[in-house]
């Protein structure tokens, strides 16, 4: 039996303790204020205690609670610096590790899915997991043909736990909201629930990973491990060495940060164009920095893992994204407003000032305006503060904009990627990637009309 807490009452009790804990600390903070400690100092202590409890519970529960924590983790750079510190260590820990399943549970799943003689499929199999995530954990092994492999084993009851946690967390969305200024938590949780069934289906994940592995085979910039074997609850893929992106964020050189950032942006925009799929879980735990090209020589490459959550975009990223971005940079307020209205970003019942919409968008797309841009936590915080401050015109306008369902996942992936770039502090030539891969960003030259054929 898994150590993943499966009984609804147990999981609910743990999650229910979160808002109670928040309320208790708020009372503690008020008491400290009464006896004369500064609001800034009290606020900092309050945030640290909140962070410690929140991520301790999320990490213990795995399931949807941990999935929610991972989704939040990429937005850490939006937090004010005095608040971000306590979260950063807890979030990074959450991205790379979690309490493992007992060995007997792992063996039981493997025996059920691969057969009682499952061990004969491997030359070696390490019982201690090398990584753990929200719905499964990864074991290093050597396949019977000598290849080093990663064996992902799904937690028994993971689907039930995911849905239960996310339903419970949605009730606390208002209390969790202040964790990330300017982000509406409830739609994020709703979207995570919608993706649960796909992520639990290792068959879909294997298809997406195979498509990427085939397309990026021998690519000088991006590496994707191929699928070796797949069945229900078990996915075996080629093993990938490399420096986890969380380590690059913590201790990487500036060269590594810049290279990782450039390749992350390249993968985000080139993936849909090349495979018709968007990798939709861009937290640092899913990426590695690999030395050398496919032959071991050349510049750093980006290793990409975990294709459990993807957005299917057969035509690549929607052309209106590139078109509206280009027109915004060109200052075409009326044209941008018309396109946003057509795509459903402005509802028919709402009327906004096109120039105000342009003013709202321009600071956000600053990285696409220049030849290269240095992403920083300070820049991310300034954008979050501008959009989250109720006194700001940007806040009032942002509340009236709409996010059509077709763009929801693309929007979150883009924001998440920007969050990771800011954590890296990377200098990136983003415009170069947009010109190469984003449909509509570079206007199409009109075809010359053919000269009428000369009469014979």
Cβ–Cβ < 8 Å for 279, 310: yes
Two structure tokens written together for 437: 């891969």
Cβ–Cβ < 8 Å for 270, 437: yes
Two structure tokens written together for 255: 């060269």
Distance CA 169, CA 55 (A): 13
Cβ–Cβ < 8 Å for 303, 115: no
Distance CA 344, CA 221 (A): 36
Distance CA 441, CA 323 (A): 5
Distance CA 246, CA 131 (A): 13
**Cα–Cα nearest to 29, from 43, 50, 17, 18:** 43
Give the 3-state secondary structure of 82-104. Answer: HHHHHHHHHHHHHHHCCCCCCHH
Burial class (CB in 10 A: 0-12, 13-18, 19+), 176: buried
Q: What spatial distance separates the first Cα and last Cα of the chain, rounded to whole Å?
A: 86
State the CB neighbour count (10 A cutoff) for residue 235.
25
Cβ–Cβ < 8 Å for 363, 386: yes
Active site residue 218: no
Name the strand (E) or helix (H) holding 112: helix 103-114
Distance CA 429, CA 433 (A): 7
State the CB neighbour count (10 A cutoff) for residue 2.
19
Q: What is the DSSP letter of 177?
A: G
Q: What is the DSSP letter of 221?
A: S
Cross-strand pairs, 103: none
Cβ–Cβ < 8 Å for 4, 155: yes
State the catalytic residue, choosing from 145, 219, 251, 281.
Answer: 281
Catalytic residues: 281
């Amino acid at each position: 039996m898994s150590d993943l807490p499966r009984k609804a009452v147990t999981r609910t009790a743990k999650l229910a303790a979160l808002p109670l804990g928040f309320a208790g600390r708020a009372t503690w903070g008020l008491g400290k204020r009464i006896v004369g400690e500064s609001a800034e100092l009290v606020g900092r202590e309050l945030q640290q205690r909140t962070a410690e409890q929140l991520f301790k519970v999320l990490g213990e529960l795995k399931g949807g609670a941990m999935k929610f924590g991972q989704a939040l983790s990429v937005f850490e750079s939006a937090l004010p610096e005095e608040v971000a510190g306590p979260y950063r260590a807890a979030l990074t820990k959450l991205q790379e590790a979690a309490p493992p399943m007992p060995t007997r549970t792992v063996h039981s799943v493997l025996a059920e899915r691969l057969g009682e003689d499952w061990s004969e499929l491997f030359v070696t199999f390490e019982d201690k997991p090398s990584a753990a995530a929200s719905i499964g954990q990864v074991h290093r092994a050597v396949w019977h043909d000598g290849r080093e492999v990663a064996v992902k084993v799904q937690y028994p009851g993971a689907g039930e736990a995911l849905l239960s946690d996310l339903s419970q967390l949605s009730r606390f969305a208002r209390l969790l909201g202040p964790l990330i200024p300017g982000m509406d938590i409830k739609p994020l949780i709703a979207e995570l629930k919608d993706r649960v069934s796909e992520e639990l289906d290792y068959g879909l994940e294997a298809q997406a990973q195979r498509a990427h592995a085939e397309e990026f085979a021998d690519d000088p910039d991006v590496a994707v491990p191929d699928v070796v074997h797949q069945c229900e609850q078990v996915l075996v893929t080629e093993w990938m060495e490399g420096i986890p992106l969380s380590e690059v964020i913590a201790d990487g050189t500036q060269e590594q940060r810049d290279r990782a950032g450039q390749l992350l942006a390249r993968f985000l925009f080139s993936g849909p164009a090349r495979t018709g799929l968007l990798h939709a879980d861009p937290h640092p735990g899913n990426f590695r920095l690999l030395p050398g090209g496919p032959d071991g020589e050349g510049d750093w490459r980006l290793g990409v893992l975990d294709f459990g959550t993807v957005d299917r975009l057969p035509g690549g990223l929607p052309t209106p994204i590139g078109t509206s971005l280009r027109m915004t940079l060109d200052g075409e307020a009326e044209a941008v407003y018309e396109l946003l209205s057509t795509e459903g970003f402005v509802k028919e019942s709402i009327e906004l000032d096109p120039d105000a919409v342009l003013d709202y968008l321009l600071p956000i797309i600053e990285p696409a305006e220049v030849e290269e841009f240095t992403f920083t936590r300070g820049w991310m915080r300034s954008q979050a503060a501008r959009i989250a401050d109720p006194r700001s015109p940007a806040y009032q306008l942002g509340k009236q904009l709409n996010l059509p369902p077709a763009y929801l996942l693309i929007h979150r992936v883009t924001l998440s990627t920007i969050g990771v770039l800011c954590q890296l502090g990377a200098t990136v030539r983003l415009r170069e990637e947009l010109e190469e891969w984003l449909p509509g960003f570079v206007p199409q030259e009109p075809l010359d009309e053919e000269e009428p054929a000369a009469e014979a």
